[in-house]
Amino acid sequence: MRVIRVADYQEMSDLCASLVVAQIKAKPDIVLGVPTGGTPLGMYARLVETFRAGEVDVRRASFFNLDEYVGLPHEHAQSYHAYMRRHLYDQVEDAFTPENLHVPDGNAGDLQKACESYEAAIRAAGGMDLCMLGIGANGHVAFNEPGCSLASRVRVVRLAERTVLDNARFFADPATVPRHAMTMGTGTIRDARALILLASGEGKAAAVAAALEGPVTSRCPASIVQLHPRVVFLVDEAAASGLTVRHPSWEEYRSDPHAETFLFQ
């Protein structure tokens, strides 16, 4: 596991985007797991610039969202369908292949069947090569809330009270925050061949410390990263403030002559 300290949100976003672009260049038909929320916005903005500049071709790449609210219409501004269009897919004309863009269908008539289809679609695409993740203040990854199975697959979950409160900032009326979501499971995420986690800000410090230095436990679903063989965890100084192990900064890390070989290990 490679934990890298970055100065701030901007450095985290730029670095993450450059790692993703390098992975796409290395494998143009890459299968990506993609997050929503506040944390990845800077990374998407950098990707948009890169894609607009034509620096990398993403037409063969596949994108699978980690999760989606249940019962929120796709057109609703806070749905993750709308989020992805607003921040990435509609930002660069003709960059993406529509059939390769997947978001769980939280409005399916048969939600159970939709969960199974989503899991099957990831498998049919060849499995995720790289899954990007934020971390919740309560230690969740995707919408795998504390107490979940660490082997779970795509399923419908009830959101933790803390998550509903955290996400209320995005809704005009906090009472309308959905209570359920369809999410990749921790088992689905662990099957990805590589993970990149992002954490920024003091509000994430306790969750980051629990994920990296606490026990592997369902109390902190993000602690599954300790069991994954290929992880890069980008943590800004504020989010790293609860860690006792000192991790290298990006400058320190990349000055190591073997840096390339350690990344994702």
Catalytic entry in 138, 144, 167, 236: 138
- We find the least distance from the C-beta atom of residue 186 to ligand PGA, in angstroms, to be 13
- We find the least distance from the C-beta atom of residue 134 to ligand PGA, in angstroms, to be 3
- We find the least distance from the C-beta atom of residue 38 to ligand PGA, in angstroms, to be 4
Catalytic entry in 81, 102, 140, 228: 140
Dihedral (C-alpha) 237, 191, 145, 86: value to the nearest 10 degrees? Answer: 70
Residues in the chain: 265
Question: How does DSSP classify residue 85?
Answer: I
Whether 138 is a known active-site residue: answer yes
- Give dist(CA 143, CA 148) in Å, integer: 10
- Give dist(CA 222, CA 3) in Å, integer: 14
If 0-12 CB within 10 Å is exposed, 13-18 middle and 19+ buried, where does residue 3 land? Answer: buried
DSSP β-bridge partners for residue 231: 195
Nearer to ligand PGA, 134 or 178 (CB): 134
Whether 258 is a known active-site residue: answer no
Nearer to ligand PGA, 38 or 248 (CB): 38
- We find the least distance from the C-beta atom of residue 250 to ligand PGA, in angstroms, to be 20
Nearer to ligand PGA, 3 or 95 (CB): 3
- E-strand ranges in the chain read 2-6, 31-34, 62-65, 67-69, 101-102, 130-133, 155-158, 180-183, 195-199, 231-236
Whether 87 is a known active-site residue: answer no
Catalytic entry in 11, 68, 105, 145: 145
- We find the least distance from the C-beta atom of residue 135 to ligand PGA, in angstroms, to be 6
Reduced to 3 states, what is the DSSP secondary structure of residue 196? strand
Nearer to ligand PGA, 50 or 200 (CB): 200
Whether 145 is a known active-site residue: answer yes
- Give dist(CA 108, CA 96) in Å, integer: 24
Residues that bind ligand PGA (CB under 6 A): 37-39, 134-136
Nearer to ligand PGA, 3 or 160 (CB): 160
* Residue labelled with tokens 């970055």: 6
Residues taking part in catalysis: 67, 138, 140, 145
